[in-house]
A and B are shown apart, each in its own frame.
Chain A
Amino acid sequence: MKRNFDFEQEGIQVKKSCCYFCHQNCGVLAYVKDDKVLAIEGDPDFPTNTGGLCCRGNIALLHLDHPDRVNYPLRRVGKRGEGKWETISWDQALDEIAAKLGQIREEYGAEAVATAGGTQRTDDWARRRFMNLFGSPNGFHNSHLCWIPTFMIETAVCGWSPFEIDLSYSRCIVLWGQNPGASNMPEMHHLSELRQKGLKIITIDPRFTETAAKSDLWLPLRPGSDLALALAWLHVIIYEGLYDPVFVENYCEGFGELANHVEQYTPEWAEPLTWLSADLIRESARMYAMNKPGNIQWGVAMDQQGRASGAAIHARTLIRAITGNLDAPGSDLLTGPSLEFITDEEMEANEYLSEEQKAKQIGADKFKLLTWPGYSKIAEMSKKYWGKVPTAEWMCEAHPPSVFRAILSGDPYPVKALLVSATNPVNSYGESKLVLDALREVDFMVTCDYWMTPTAALSDYVLPIAGALERPTITSSYGCSDFLLASQRAIKPMYERRNDYNFWRDLGIRLGQKDMWPWETVEDAYLHKIEPLGYGSDSYDEFVEYWRFHFPERQYQKYLDKGGFGTPSGKIELYSSVLKDLGYSPLPEYVGPVENEIDHPELAEEYPLVLSTGNGFMPFHHSEHFQIPDVRFLNSEPYFQINPETAEEYGIEEGDWVWIETQRGRMKQKADVTQAVAPRVIITQRGWWFPERKMKEPDLAGCLESNTNVLTSTRDEDCCPLSGTWANRGLLCKIYKVDSTEQKEGN
Chain B
Amino acid sequence: MSRKHDEWGWMLAVDFFFAGMGGAMLVIAGIADLFLGNAQTSVLGNFAGAIFIAIGAGFLILELGRPLQAFRVFMNPKAILTFGAWNMTFAIIAGLLFASFGITILPWSGFILVRKFLAAFCIIFGLIVATYPGVLLARHKARPFWNGPGIMVLFFLSSFITGMAGHILSGYVIGESSWFIAEGYIVNSLSSLVLQDLPHLTAILLLFQLIFWAGYIWIKRSGGTDREAEAAQRWINGDLSASFKLGFILLGTIVPIVLMLFTTPVIHSVGACLAILGGMIMRYLVVRAGEDRTWLPGEQKYRSRLPVGNEEFLKVWK
Interface residues of chain A, those whose CB is within 8 Å of chain B, are: 66-68, 626-627, 629, 632-636, 655, 690-693
Complex Cα distance A632/B305, Å?
12
Q: Which of B306, B307, B313, B317 contacts A67 (CB 8 A)?
A: B317
Q: List 6 A-B contacts (CB under 8 A).
A: A627-B313, A632-B313, A633-B306, A635-B305, A636-B307, A690-B312
Complex Cα distance A655/B307, Å?
12
> What is the 8 Å Cβ interface bit string for chain B, positions 294-316, against chain A (1 contact, 0 not)?
00000000001111000111111
Complex Cα distance A632/B314, Å?
9
Q: Which of A68, A627, A633, A693 contacts B307 (CB 8 A)?
A: A633
Interface residues of chain B, those whose CB is within 8 Å of chain A, are: 304-307, 311-317
Q: A629-B313, A691-B313, A692-B317 are in contact. List 5 more A-B contacts (CB 8 A).
A: A626-B313, A629-B317, A636-B307, A692-B312, A692-B316
Closest 8 A-B residue pairs measured CB to CB? A692-B313, A692-B316, A692-B312, A636-B307, A632-B313, A629-B317, A67-B317, A636-B311
Q: Which of A627, A635, A655, A690 contacts B317 (CB 8 A)?
A: A627
B interface, over-half SS: helix
Q: Which residues of chain A come closer than 8 Å to B306, judged between CB atoms?
A: 633-634, 636
Cβ contact within 8 Å between B311 and A66: no
Q: Which residues of chain B come closer than 8 Å to A66, judged between CB atoms?
A: 317
Cβ contact within 8 Å between A629 and B314: yes
Residue of A nearest to B315 (CB): A692
Residue of A nearest to B312 (CB): A692
Q: Which residues of chain A come closer than 8 Å to B314, judged between CB atoms?
A: 629, 633
Complex Cα distance A690/B311, Å?
11
Q: Which residues of chain A come closer than 8 Å to B307, judged between CB atoms?
A: 633, 636
Q: Which residues of chain A come closer than 8 Å to B315, judged between CB atoms?
A: 692
Cβ contact within 8 Å between A636 and B317: no
Q: Which residues of chain B come closer than 8 Å to A636, judged between CB atoms?
A: 306-307, 311, 313
Cβ contact within 8 Å between B317 and A68: yes
Complex Cα distance A636/B313, Å?
8
Q: Which residues of chain A come closer than 8 Å to B312, judged between CB atoms?
A: 690, 692-693
**How far in angstroms is the closest Cβ of chain B from A634?**
8
Residue of B nearest to A635 (CB): B305
Q: Which residues of chain B come closer than 8 Å to A629, judged between CB atoms?
A: 313-314, 317
Complex Cα distance A68/B313, Å?
12
Q: Which residues of chain A come closer than 8 Å to B316, judged between CB atoms?
A: 692
Q: Which residues of chain B come closer than 8 Å to A690, judged between CB atoms?
A: 312-313
**How far in angstroms is the closest Cβ of chain B from A66?**
7
**How far in angstroms is the closest Cβ of chain A from B79?**
27
Residue of A nearest to B304 (CB): A655
Complex Cα distance A67/B316, Å?
10
Complex Cα distance A627/B317, Å?
8
Residue of B nearest to A670 (CB): B305
Residue of B nearest to A66 (CB): B317
Q: Which residues of chain B come closer than 8 Å to A691, judged between CB atoms?
A: 313
Q: Which residues of chain A come closer than 8 Å to B313, judged between CB atoms?
A: 626-627, 629, 632, 636, 690-692
Which among B306, B312, B313, B315 has the highest number of chain A CB atoms within 10 Å? B313
Residue of A nearest to B1 (CB): A633
**How far in angstroms is the closest Cβ of chain B from A585?**
47
Residue of B nearest to A627 (CB): B317
Q: Which residues of chain B come closer than 8 Å to A626, judged between CB atoms?
A: 313
**How far in angstroms is the closest Cβ of chain A from B30?**
52
Complex Cα distance A486/B305, Å?
39
Residue of B nearest to A629 (CB): B317
**How far in angstroms is the closest Cβ of chain A from B101?**
56
Complex Cα distance A67/B317, Å?
7
**How far in angstroms is the closest Cβ of chain A from B157?**
40
Q: Which residues of chain B come closer than 8 Å to A68, judged between CB atoms?
A: 317
Residue of B nearest to A636 (CB): B307
Which among A633, A636, A693 has the highest number of chain B CB atoms within 10 Å? A636
Complex Cα distance A690/B316, Å?
11
**How far in angstroms is the closest Cβ of chain A from B289?**
24
Complex Cα distance A145/B20, Å?
68
**How far in angstroms is the closest Cβ of chain A from B5?**
13
**How far in angstroms is the closest Cβ of chain A from B315?**
8
Q: Which residues of chain A come closer than 8 Å to B311, judged between CB atoms?
A: 636
**How far in angstroms is the closest Cβ of chain B from A703?**
15
**How far in angstroms is the closest Cβ of chain B from A453?**
16
**How far in angstroms is the closest Cβ of chain B from A659?**
21
Residue of B nearest to A68 (CB): B317
Q: Which residues of chain A come closer than 8 Å to B317, judged between CB atoms?
A: 66-68, 627, 629, 692
Residue of B nearest to A62 (CB): B317
**How far in angstroms is the closest Cβ of chain A from B264?**
52
**How far in angstroms is the closest Cβ of chain A from B23?**
43
Q: Which residues of chain B come closer than 8 Å to A633, judged between CB atoms?
A: 306-307, 314
Q: Which residues of chain B come closer than 8 Å to A632, judged between CB atoms?
A: 313
**How far in angstroms is the closest Cβ of chain B from A233?**
35
**How far in angstroms is the closest Cβ of chain A from B300?**
12
Complex Cα distance A632/B317, Å?
12
**How far in angstroms is the closest Cβ of chain B from A290?**
37
Q: Which residues of chain A come closer than 8 Å to B304, judged between CB atoms?
A: 655
**How far in angstroms is the closest Cβ of chain A from B58?**
35
Which among A67, A626, A629 has the highest number of chain B CB atoms within 10 Å? A629
Complex Cα distance A511/B77, Å?
80
Residue of A nearest to B302 (CB): A634
**How far in angstroms is the closest Cβ of chain B from A30?**
23
**How far in angstroms is the closest Cβ of chain B from A676?**
13
Q: Which residues of chain B come closer than 8 Å to A67, judged between CB atoms?
A: 317
Complex Cα distance A626/B313, Å?
9
Complex Cα distance A68/B304, Å?
29
**How far in angstroms is the closest Cβ of chain B from A204?**
26
Complex Cα distance A628/B77, Å?
44
Complex Cα distance A690/B305, Å?
18
**How far in angstroms is the closest Cβ of chain B from A363?**
38
Complex Cα distance A198/B254, Å?
69
Which among B304, B312, B315 has the highest number of chain A CB atoms within 10 Å? B312
Q: Which residues of chain B come closer than 8 Å to A655, judged between CB atoms?
A: 304
Q: Which residues of chain B come closer than 8 Å to A627, judged between CB atoms?
A: 313, 317
Complex Cα distance A68/B317, Å?
8
Q: Which residues of chain A come closer than 8 Å to B305, judged between CB atoms?
A: 635
Complex Cα distance A22/B312, Å?
27
Complex Cα distance A691/B315, Å?
12
Complex Cα distance A655/B301, Å?
11
Q: Which residues of chain B come closer than 8 Å to A693, judged between CB atoms?
A: 312
Complex Cα distance A655/B316, Å?
24
Complex Cα distance A441/B305, Å?
39
Which among B305, B306, B311 has the highest number of chain A CB atoms within 10 Å? B305
Complex Cα distance A67/B313, Å?
13
Complex Cα distance A655/B304, Å?
10
Complex Cα distance A626/B316, Å?
12
**How far in angstroms is the closest Cβ of chain B from A674?**
10
Complex Cα distance A30/B158, Å?
61
Complex Cα distance A634/B313, Å?
12
**How far in angstroms is the closest Cβ of chain A from B18?**
37
Residue of A nearest to B314 (CB): A629
**How far in angstroms is the closest Cβ of chain B from A68?**
7
Complex Cα distance A632/B306, Å?
10
Q: Which residues of chain B come closer than 8 Å to A635, judged between CB atoms?
A: 305
**How far in angstroms is the closest Cβ of chain B from A181?**
16
**How far in angstroms is the closest Cβ of chain A from B299?**
14
Complex Cα distance A709/B312, Å?
24
**How far in angstroms is the closest Cβ of chain B from A743?**
14
Residue of B nearest to A67 (CB): B317
Residue of A nearest to B307 (CB): A636
Complex Cα distance A96/B95, Å?
85
Complex Cα distance A541/B151, Å?
68
Residue of B nearest to A630 (CB): B317
Complex Cα distance A275/B112, Å?
93
Complex Cα distance A691/B316, Å?
9
Complex Cα distance A68/B311, Å?
18
Complex Cα distance A626/B311, Å?
13
Complex Cα distance A35/B103, Å?
75
Residue of B nearest to A639 (CB): B305
Complex Cα distance A655/B305, Å?
9
**How far in angstroms is the closest Cβ of chain A from B278?**
36
